[in-house]
Amino acid sequence: MSSPSNQAPRALVVDDERELALLIADYLVRDGFVTQTVFDGPSAIAAAREDPPDLVVLDLGLPGLDGVEVCRQIRSFSDCYIMMVTARSDEIDTILGLEVGADDYVTKPFSPRELAARARAMLRRPREGSEPSGPQGGVAKFGGLMIDLVAREASVNGAPVGLTKTEFDILAALASRPRQVFTRRTLIAAVWGEGWFGDEHIVDVHILHIRRKLGDDATTQRYVRTYPAVGYRMGEG
């Protein structure tokens, strides 16, 4: 659940390093957020249920429950944006975090000022109920795949597909210009915003999960095609 447009966005900061958590919260407050700070996994889930945030800044290494499990549980009842924070740069942690519904990630050390700017850019992205650009009537079809850009719903052969906000935004961007090959940078600009910075391979991780949820894969590429060394575009289905 998101804050009404006339209210400040709410951020939940979760990190067992108290000084860092409070520093992040301070920068978010300066950037217009109302913040709450907790320091362990179970408290994060309780806080997200009690006072639903628009954004969760979630450390991976937490006492009680780790960030991946916290992300998984929050995703079961909330569609808020989730930014994972990890002190480990190994790819498995990143993929696990994104697989359970995280929208973005940062690796320590990072600038709290830049994290706050990235969080604000994330919340400027279109949300449910916004008017999309795309096919007439707001519905795109690619074989068995139907993408309803107004309702922000996708289905394959009539069966609903549970996409995260970021996954849907990527699919909607590709569907808006189905004959165009999108580079990673173009997709990042369309989905995360022009001011986003970080590892562009985050796009590849999300594409991997979109394909898995659509019942597609890198071999058949019915719905999302890869153009090596260039980027991605929609397939014919």
Whose tokens are 């409070």? That residue is 22
Q: Are residues 171 and 106 in the same domain?
A: no
Q: What is the pTM of this model?
A: 0.72
Tokens of 79: 């569609």
Q: Are residues 150 and 65 in the same domain?
A: no
Range of the structural domain that residue 47 is part of: 10-123
Q: Are residues 71 and 164 in the same domain?
A: no
User: Given this model, what pLDDT does residue 103 score?
Assistant: 86
User: Given this model, what pLDDT does residue 223 score?
Assistant: 94
Domain boundary among 69, 101, 123: 123
CATH number assigned to the domain comprising residue 229: 1.10.10.10
Q: Are residues 116 and 152 in the same domain?
A: no
Contact 85, 21 (CB under 8 A): no
- Residue 202: pLDDT over 50: yes
- Residue 67: pLDDT over 70: yes
In a domain, 1, yes or no: no
Q: How far is CA 89 from CA 21, 68, 112, in A?
A: 19, 15, 18
Closest residue by Cα to residue 84 from 23, 171, 74, 49 = 74
User: Given this model, what pLDDT does residue 53 score?
Assistant: 96
- Residue 85: pLDDT over 60: yes
Q: Are residues 93 and 183 in the same domain?
A: no
Contact 203, 178 (CB under 8 A): no
In a domain, 151, yes or no: yes
In a domain, 3, yes or no: no
Q: Which residues contact 137 (CB under 8 A, 6 or more apart)?
A: none
- Residue 15: pLDDT over 50: yes
| Ramachandran category for residue 37: left, alpha or beta (phi over 0 → left; psi -120 to 50 → alpha) | beta
- CA angle, 136 then 81 then 18, to 5°: 170
Domain boundary among 58, 92, 123: 123
Domain count, the chain: 2
Calculate Rg over the CA atoms of the chain. 18
Q: Are residues 94 and 173 in the same domain?
A: no
In a domain, 107, yes or no: yes
Q: Are residues 69 and 143 in the same domain?
A: no
Q: Which residues contact 74 (CB under 8 A, 6 or more apart)?
A: 44, 45, 48, 56, 80, 82, 101
User: Given this model, what pLDDT does residue 3 score?
Assistant: 52
User: Given this model, what pLDDT does residue 132 score?
Assistant: 45
Q: Are residues 46 and 85 in the same domain?
A: yes
CATH number assigned to the domain comprising residue 84: 3.40.50.2300
